Amino acid sequence: MMDLLNILLSESFWAASLRIATPLIFGVLGALICERAGVLNLGIEGIFVVGAMCGWMAVWLGAGLWGGVIVAALAGAFFGLLHAILTVPLGLSQHVSGLGITLFATSVSYFTYRTALPNVSSPPRIEPFQALDIPVLSDLPFLGPVLFQQTALTWLALLMVALVWYVMNRSALGVALKAVGDNPDSVDAQGLSVYALRIWAIVAGSALMALGGAFLTMSAFDAFFFGMVNGRGWVCIALVIFASWRPGKALLGALLFGAFDALQVRLQTEMGALVPGQVFLMAPYILSIIALVIAARSADYPRALLTPWFKGQR
């Protein structure tokens, strides 16, 4: 029991929680934007992979870290656009298209990586984002190490939470996005384009998802591995339901998940002798399912989610 308390009070635990939460924050926000506009994006898992691979490769080719971030976002946006074309004007099954995008984006990434680096045994490393060392603030007790020794991408993620919150709750664009996910006819009748709103929402959401992937290769690690995304995208799809499509709760959900993941790593070292390590590895996924089960009943799904809309058919 004391051990648990020690863990929960340690700076490193909370710093790790925020670090682990970062890619999820990007992913949940991206999924949130897509679903608010009425389109489920199961391409998320593949878009994470593409973001991770493209970001890393751009840096490896000399584009610079921020260049890598931009390349990752553009790559995510591209696959998002593909999903958008299939599901919005063509109105095809969002489930199948999303899974198709995941398979396609993953295989494009793997193929490109293998073709660029045919015979490497250990993946080449890049110099990743370093912790932003802000003078005074970083030296604050507790908060300093937790908040002010994160990399710039974590800060970008937090900034995005604020930005998405502002757009959703305070801007005309947010009103239109919520409306198009609830009843596309309401948007169409007012002379706005349902297609344009949905397509741009998916493109923007997918770009954010890709940043989640980029964080993995450019901040959490310093290289690209096969299978490194490991279900993080799917976790985001569960978390967005848990968050009832609200940016603030999305941040909370991602942080809770990060904290739990950080906790399991630490418990594993503490109790490794008693319980097989895999029990702890499984925990985050089980937690996601539990969160989903708890939230599902009361979830206030965007009413038009999964329903295609065609112009002139009402």
C-beta of 113 vs 215, nearer to other proteins: 113
Total residues at the site for other proteins (CB under 8 A)? 74
Q: Determine which residue in the list 121, 127, 141, 190 makes contact with other proteins, applying CB under 8 A.
A: 190
Q: Candidates 60-68, 100-108, 125-133, 260-268: pick the segment binding other proteins (CB under 8 A).
A: 100-108
Interface with other proteins includes 115 (CB under 8 A)?
yes
Q: Which stretch binds other proteins (CB under 8 A): 4-12, 67-75, 126-134, 283-291?
A: 283-291
- Answer whether 44's CB lies under 8 Å from 236's CB: yes
Q: For residues 158 and 146, what is the distance between their CA atoms, to the nearest angstrom?
A: 14
Binding other proteins by CB under 8 A: which of 152, 165, 299, 307? 299
Token digits of residue 97: 């298209």
According to the binding rule CB under 8 A, does residue 189 interact with other proteins?
A: yes
**Nearest CB to other proteins, comparing residues 10 and 93:** 93
Is the Cβ–Cβ distance between 47 and 80 less than 8 Å? yes
305 part of the interface to other proteins, by CB under 8 A: no
> Under the criterion CB under 8 A, does residue 172 sit at the interface with other proteins?
yes
Task: Answer positive or negative: Cα dihedral of 24, 172, 303, 37.
Answer: negative
- For tokens 């848990």, the residue is 242
314 binds other proteins (CB under 8 A): yes
Q: Per CB under 8 A, which of residues 4..23 are in contact with other proteins?
A: none
- 35 part of the interface to other proteins, by CB under 8 A: no
Please give the backbone phi and psi of residue 87, each rounded to the nearest 5 degrees, phi first. Answer: -100, -25
Q: How far is CA 138 from the centre of its chain?
A: 27
Please tell me whether residue 131 adopts helix, strand or coil conformation: strand
CB of 107 to other proteins, least distance (A): 4
Which of 44/255 has CB closer to other proteins? 44
Q: Is 282 near other proteins (CB under 8 A)?
A: yes
Q: Could you say whether residue 171 binds other proteins (CB under 8 A)?
A: yes
Q: Which residues of 105-144 are buried (b: 16+ CB within 10 A; e: fewer)?
A: bbebbeeebeeeeeeeeebeebebbebbeeeeeeeeeeeb
Helix (H) or strand (E) holding 14: helix 11-36
Distance of alpha carbon 16 from alpha carbon 52, whole angstroms = 20
165 forms part of the interface with other proteins (CB under 8 A): no
214-253: which residues touch other proteins (CB under 8 A)?
230-231, 234-235, 237-238, 241
